[in-house]
Amino acid sequence: MRLEYFQLIDRIVDLDLAQQTICAEARVPSASTIFEGHFPGYPLMPGVLLIEAMAQTSGWLVIAVTRFSRMPFFAALKEAKLRSFVHPGESLSLSAKLLHEGSGYAVTRAEIRCGSKLACNAEITFRLVEFPNPEFRASMEKMAAILEFPIGALAQRFAPYLVHPLAPLDLDKQIPKKGDQRQMEPWQRIGTYAAGLALADAGVKGNSELLARMDMIVAAGGGERDVAVDAAILSNKRKSANPDAFLNERLMSDLRPTLFLAQLSNLLAGNVSIVHGVTGSSRTFMGEEAAGVDAVRIALARITAGQSELALVGGSHNGEREDLLLLYDAGGHMLRGRFARGVPRSGVARACTGAQRQAARAALAGAVGAISAPGRRNHGCTGAHVAKPRSAGATRTYCGDLRRNRRTAGDERGARMARDPTRRTGTGNGQLARTRV
């Protein structure tokens, strides 16, 4: 320990991302000015510093689970117990387990042992925020090296599956309000970020007149599940004396408003509208690859038919979702082992992707200058690579499976309107307007 620098752990000795646990060690200094006042003649490690040591251990676990994308700040303490004295010169073993991570918060259960004796334990809640600035992040990376934080373990989070993690994004540039960032899950942040890039690239970002006329067609999956809640329910339901009552109680307390068992797909379009001010008509296609193709096709058809002048079309996908890894692997689609270019293998290496594009009628495209005509430009953010199946048969089977995506009634109406330009279309504010070719 370096008490004068508030470094209360010496080394991280184990990090298990599968079990979401961490172990660290520390040695209480034999001499410190703190012991001169706490207490004269009977030096003891202050209880508040023991709690801080548990918080630091837990914090590194949260940083690992979020792959250095969030900084955990101490928010609340629950059921803290100081069970025995800790004296100068004693060696401590610290451990923590993640109980919950989501909605901008994380909860851990931590403890400190002195030999085999439990010294203290507590449940700690953290608020998760973006790193305030690059300098702060760099200082944390430097401290990680000092503590022997296993950076390499982060790349193995999804082993044995091949998953390319999303590169770090400066979300403040496209989603300036921290409150907006906190209430979004990764797939929403990815899509909203990509939408901001597309609008800026087209030269219409902040142009309220054009944004009010801009239609939006978004492809999105079924949203993200709270894996920690799922795991807690599955683990404890069988132990409950009344499983049905336990299930209802947990679902009522753990699921947030606007959620069913996963997030609603149209939350992405809603966030793009709130953050970037796109207020024309909005359609959401629920699904993945096939839904994305349909979104582009419908946008182009509506512009060609004269039903739309200006459109923002695209979607996002979080390839790191553990529930989707399970589903893909159950179908035999996930690639395993190390990534290697040029090696013929059939399967999928998942990645996070956000893609948005601007499309406009030719006359309007000329008027706004930088804006792109259909099929010309797009903008997005993605993981490092996406490995595609090398076998044509495997590709057909894979795409065939993913074409079984559900679409909403609104999507079907959009398809009918594209075929019939004289049909009515929503204007985004609940009114109806007659469209003309």
Which positions are annotated as active-site residues? 38
Amino acid at 304: T
β-pair partners for 94: 24, 112
CA distances from 353 to 239, 318, 319 (A): 39, 7, 7
Q: Name residues whose C-beta falls within 8 Å of residue 429's C-beta, 6 or more positions apart in sequence.
A: 279
Query: Closest by alpha carbon to 100, among 122, 121, 124, 76?
Result: 124
* Burial tier of 78 (Cβ tally within 10 Å: 0-12, 13-18, 19+): exposed
How many whole angstroms separate alpha carbon 390 and alpha carbon 398? 12
Q: Name residues whose C-beta falls within 8 Å of residue 398's C-beta, 6 or more positions apart in sequence.
A: 333, 348, 389
Please give the structure tokens belonging to residue 355. Answer: 């893609």
Do the Cβ atoms of 12 and 40 come closer than 8 Å? no
Do the Cβ atoms of 172 and 130 come closer than 8 Å? yes
Alpha helices in 221-278 (DSSP H): 227-237, 243-254, 267-276
Strand 214-220 relative to strand 282-286: parallel, antiparallel, unpaired?
Answer: parallel
How many whole angstroms separate alpha carbon 155 and alpha carbon 173? 26
Do the Cβ atoms of 418 and 295 come closer than 8 Å? no
H or E segment to which residue 79 belongs: strand 71-82
β-pair partners for 47: none
119 half-sphere exposure, CB direction, 13 A CA radius: 23
* Signed CA dihedral, 165, 168, 173, 177: sign only: positive
Please give the structure tokens belonging to residue 373. Answer: 């005509």
How many whole angstroms separate alpha carbon 180 and alpha carbon 434? 35
Please give the structure tokens belonging to residue 388. Answer: 């595609």
Rounded to a whole number, what is the distance in angstroms from the first to the last CA of the chain? 74
Amino acid at 75: A
